[in-house]
Structure 1
Amino acid sequence: MNAATAALPADIRLMNAVSALLVAALLAMAVWGVMRWVVRLPAFNLRAIQVEGDVTRNGTASLRANALPRLQGSFLSLNLKEGRAAFEAVPWVRHAQLQRVWPMTLRVNLEEHRAAAYWEARADGADAATESAMERGLVNTFGEVFQANLGDVEDEDLPTLAGPAHTAGVMLQMWRALAPAAERLGESIERLDLSGRGSWRATLASGAVIELGRGSEAEVGARFGEFARSITQVTAQYHSPLLSADLRHADGYAVRLRGVTIQTPGKPVNRKR
């Protein structure tokens, strides 16, 4: 500050400072306005959208119908975060990455969901055997629930997972843990239920229903593995297929075979092993 400026009264100095700020603000607004006008010029309109990655479920027509109407702005003004959301709103798209590529091209890399199971979400605390499904959808290989046309996977041999909301990931992990033991029986688990109380039930491809009980993945897996190793001896002995089994016994399990029953006076009971 020179001597002439210092000699000015305080109110004059304040007025000059305010004036300078106003001029700077007006200049900034003018520059901003010009920039907004420039980026909207037809010369900066998107000329091409280059799609890479997974496009098994979504072709050009699907992406054009579902994503393009959501894109707003030119090559320069397009909000990439909003553009990503537009593509991720397309059925079967799990993740999208967008990148501007000169000249006037938008490169989109897609990752699609890979369906691992059907999903039925049930009310928390409800009995999975009696409570009607609250939500239907699909579970991907990451254990995430997503919505898509179920008819797209009707030719795929997918199991059904049914349990309380937000348990799809845990249920898919349990299904994977139990699958090898089921394969040793020459079976597959077509349906896995988890009740609101934490009890597991497996339905095999043959229709047999296995009550697995509660416990961690390791506990339930060991229980089912021991059952798979020994049940074939029972079915071979009686030459009868398995209808159901209850593994919720501390010293063994109860089974029901087709055409084989044991009765105590006046009361039928399940065969135990």
Structure 2
Amino acid sequence: MWDNHRALRTLANLLLGSSVMMVLYAAGFWLTHSPVFPVKKIQIQGEMKRVTPEQLRYIAEHELLGTFFTLNIDKTRAAFGKLPWVREAQVRRQWPDTLQIEVEEHVAIARWGENGLVNSRGEWFDAASDQPLPVLYGPAGAQKDMVAMLAALKPVLQPAGLKPQRLWLSPRRAWRVELDNGVQVELGRGDVEKRAALFAAHWKGTLAALPYHIESVDMRYPNGFAVRMPDYKAPPAHGQKQ
């Protein structure tokens, strides 16, 4: 073999190539892990009303580990996602030393019973709010349907000057709503928006003028509705002594 110049030249080339590769790998490893390339700037973008600068600063100081090259983008995104009002965080590197973070906040639409909030996309999230929000009560996983129904009922009730304050969805998919005047309306499982519109029309034209406290209205009847008025007393039958 030692007399075979071609084989020796091939072996030398392989050794040289391996050495170059090892040097390049070592240089690349040093380059990406060297403290010479720290993250010096963090740019945070997004319309934020609930997320505070102090919260963002805490995440930046305690959760962002590594250099410009070694910083784990997924872990960084997850770190900002831990903040209660952050729905999503997009993280990008910008050469040579900047990290760009775009934050999308939750927009709270309603409360989910006594446990957390629901955003405009029908997603549950755990955060505190002092906003006067409607309250939703329904089966697990029904948040999107309930947000959609809440949005549908608002314009239907608006002509009567009413707003939904609480909304229930039963396991059998029957709807009930409590309005901001305290009246509960049974809407059932079919033609919910139509029944709500019919209630709004009768409320504005007839019900609101009644001299009694209205507790609830049942709109599930095919040809009418039933009104519960606890302080109403039926007049005596004809000929009956009072």
What's the TM-score bracket when you normalise by the shorter of the two chains? 0.7 to 0.9
Q: Return the alpha-carbon distance in structure 2 between the equivalents of residues 72 and 114 of structure 1.
A: 30
1:92–1:264 distance in 2 versus 1, CA, 3 Å = farther
Tell me the matched-pair count.
229
Partner of 1:170: 145
**1:213 maps onto 2:188 in alignment:** yes
TM-score (norm 1): 0.74
Partner of 1:204: 179
Q: Which runs of 5+ in 1 are unaligned?
A: 9-15, 121-132, 266-273
**1:41 maps onto 2:34 in alignment:** yes
TM-score (norm 2): 0.82
1:164–1:236 distance in 2 versus 1, CA, 3 Å = closer
Bigger proportion of residues as strand? 1
Q: Return the alpha-carbon distance in structure 2 between the equivalents of residues 26 and 256 of structure 1.
A: 90
Alignment-mate amino acid for residue 146 of structure 1: F
Q: Deviations over 1:148-176 (max 9, x none)?
A: 1x2xx21x221011111111111011011
Partner of 2:161: 186
1:169–1:261 distance in 2 versus 1, CA, 3 Å = farther
2:223 to 219, 226, 251: 251
1:68–1:28 distance in 2 versus 1, CA, 3 Å = farther
Larger mean Cα displacement after TM superposition, 107-116 or 241-250? 241-250
Partner of 2:49: 56
Q: Return the alpha-carbon distance in structure 1 between the equivalents of residues 93 and 107 of structure 2.
A: 27
1:206–1:26 distance in 2 versus 1, CA, 3 Å = farther
Partner of 2:240: none
Alignment-mate amino acid for residue 93 of structure 1: V
Offset of 1:250 from its aligned partner? Answer: 2.0
Q: Which runs of 5+ in 2 are unaligned?
A: 238-242
1:246–1:263 distance in 2 versus 1, CA, 3 Å = farther
Larger mean Cα displacement after TM superposition, 254-263 or 165-174? 254-263
Do the aligned partners of 1:67 and 1:90 also contact (CA within 8 Å) in 2? no
2:89 to 76, 89, 96: 96
Q: Return the alpha-carbon distance in structure 2 between the equivalents of residues 164 and 236 of structure 1.
A: 33
Partner of 1:141: 120
Q: Deviations over 1:105-126 (max 9, x none)?
A: 1111111111111113xxxxxx
Tell me, what secondary structure is at the counterpart of 2:49? coil
